[in-house]
Amino acid sequence: MEPGLRRLVDAVESSFEQITRDAVDQIWEQVPAYRASADRQLRDDLTAHVGLVFRALLNSVTEERTVVPSDFPITAEQARKRVRQGVSLPDFLQAFRIGQLVLWEGVSAAARDDSRARDAAVSLAGRVMHLIEVGSSVAAEAYLDAQQHEVAEHDRLRRDLFEDLLAGHEIPPGPKRSVLRTAGFEPGTHLVVASALPVAPLPERHTLPDVSAALRGAFALRAPGLTVVRQQEVIGLAPVGAAAADAVIEQLRATVADLVHQGVRLALGVSTIRSGVAEVPEAYGEACVARDSLGGLPGVVPLPLMSTFDYLVLRDDETARRLIRPSLRRFVQEDLARDGVLVETVLEYAAHDLRAKAMAERMHLHVNTAYYRLDRIAERSGCDLRSFADLLELVIAIRLIGGGHRVVQGSRL
C-alpha cells in the first residue's frame, strides 16, 4: 500500500469511533423513523451496523481489493430488525447513504493536513462510491427478504389465530393475543364476522389476498380488524359497536360493488353483532348462512339489519320448499320469469302493513292500479290478501323461491 494511503487509513482508524458516532447522530437527526421507533435497542443496533459498514471499506483498502457482498455479514440480520422496528425500506436506505456521506467527510477531514493523504483521498472516492453501491444492494435485498418473511409469518399467525377462534379455543397470552389487541379486540369488544366467497373465477390480475386487502379497508373504521384467506374464502372480523355496524356494512357494500366493477364477483354475509371473541364460532356460522342465501349471486347480506323473519327465510330448508302449495309456487315462478312486478307488489304490500294506498305511493302507482294488481295476485295465487295467514304464506313462498336476499327495506314481517 502506498505511504499516503496508509497514513490516510491510519488517520481514519484513529478517529473510527468518533466517525461512527457522528454517523449515528446524523441518521438519528435526519431520519424520523429511527427516532420514532419504540425499540430501545435500535440505536445500539444502528451503531453496530454503521461500524461494520465502515470497517468493510477499511478492510478492502488494507487488503487492496474491492468491496464484495460478503463484507456485510450482519446486514441481513439488521434488515430483519429494521422491519420489526418499524423502519421502512426507503428510511433504511437513506440511513445507509447518510452513513457513507459521514464516512467520506471523516476521510476528508483526516486528509486535510497531509498533501499525500489528500491525493490518496481522491483515489479513495471511487471506493466509497462502490461501497455505497454494493452495500445498498445488499441492504435492499436483505430488507425485502426480511419483509416477505415477516409478512408470511404474520399471515401464518393470523390464520392460526382464526382457526383457534373458530374452534372456540381460548387465546393465551403471547403473539396471538398481541395480534388480537392490535386489531382492536379487547375482552368484551363487540364484533361481527364476515365471510366472502367468489361466485365466479377471479380475473387474472386479482388474487384472494387482493380481495382480502380490499375488505380489510372496509373493516378498519374504528380499528384495523382481522382478515384472512382460508382456502377459497376470505373471512373478516371487525370490532364494532351497535352504532358502528351500519357504517361497516355500508363500507362492505361499497367495496363489494367496486370489486364487481373490476370483475370480482363476491357473495358476502355478515353475522349479527356478538359480544366477544368467544362467540366467533356462532358468528361465523351466521355469516355463512347469510352468504349462501345469495344463491351464487354477488352481493352483501347483513344480518344486523334484518328482522327475525328475514333471517328465518334465509335458511335454505328443502322441507320448507316442498311444503309450498303448488298454486303459490306456480304464481311466484311464473311472475319472476316475466318481470317480477306482482311479486314485488306483494312484498311492498306486506311492508306497508296491508295498506294499499301507502304501497301505491311507495311504488309511484295510481291507487286504482295498485288495487288492480292486488286483485290479479289474489286471482292467480288463490290467496286472500286481506288474510294475514294467506299473505304470510305467500311472502314466505316468495322469499324461499325468489331468494332470501330479496328483502324489502322496512319489512316488519
Instruction: Tell me the pLDDT band of 242, cut-offs 50, 70 and 90.
Output: low
- Kindly state the percentage of the chain with pLDDT values over 90: 37
pLDDT of residue 246: 83
Under the banding of pLDDT at 50, 70 and 90, the label for residue 320 is: confident
Nine-digit cell string for 233? 374464502
Third-level CATH fold of 3-151: Globin-like (1.10.490)
Q: Map 230-293 to HEC letters.
A: ECCEEEEEEECCCCCHHHHHHHHHHHHHHHHHCCCCEEEEECCCECCHHHHHHHHHHHHHHHHC
Q: Where are the domains of the chain?
A: 3-151, 176-305, 318-402
- Residue 270's DSSP bridge partners are 194, 302
Stretch 108-125: mean pLDDT, rounded?
74
Confidence of residue 248 (pLDDT cuts 50, 70, 90): confident
Cβ atoms of 75 and 140 closer than 8 Å: no
Q: In the predicted model, what is the mean pLDDT of residues 168-173? A: 90
List pLDDT tens digits, range 256-269: 999 999 999 999 99
Selection from 72, 121, 132, 149 nearest residue 96 by Cα: 132
pLDDT at 361: 93
Q: What pLDDT is attached to residue 410?
A: 35
Phi, psi of 188 (to 5 degrees): 85, 0
Residue 120 has pLDDT above 80, yes or no: no
Mean of the pLDDT values across residues 366-385? 94
Average pLDDT (369-391) is 93
The pLDDT of residue 57: 85
Task: List the single range of 52-56, 59-63, 86-90, 403-407 with lowest mean pLDDT.
Answer: 403-407
pLDDT at 197 over 80: yes
Residue 371 has pLDDT above 70, yes or no: yes
In the CATH hierarchy, which fold is given to the domain comprising 318-402?
Answer: Arc Repressor Mutant, subunit A (1.10.10)
Residues 6+ apart with CB under 8 A from 27: 34, 46, 50, 95, 98, 99
Q: Where are the alpha helices (DSSP H) in 183-244?
A: 208-219
The band of 10, judged by pLDDT with boundaries at 50, 70 and 90, is: confident
Q: What percent of the chain has pLDDT over 70?
A: 94
The answer, yes or no, to whether residue 406 has pLDDT greater than 50, is: no
Q: Are the beta carbons of 208 and 234 closer than 8 angstroms?
A: yes
* Nearest to 271, CA basis, from 344, 337, 219: 219
Judged by DSSP in three states, 318 sits in helix
CA distance 367 to 168: 55
Is 176-305 a domain of CATH 3.30.70.270?
yes
Angle at 13 between CA 12 and CA 15, to 5 degrees: 65
Across residues 141-155, what is the average pLDDT?
82
Q: Which pairing describes strands 299-302 and 266-270: parallel, antiparallel, or unpaired? A: parallel
pLDDT at 405 over 70: no
Higher-pLDDT residue of 319, 199: 199
* pTM for the model: 0.57
Query: What whole-number distance in Å separates Cα of residue 312 and Cα of residue 306?
Result: 10
Diameter of the chain by CA atoms? Answer: 112
pLDDT of res. 280: 95
Q: pLDDT digit string (tens) for 13-40? A: 888 999 999 999 999 999 999 988 888 8
Cell of 279: 362467540
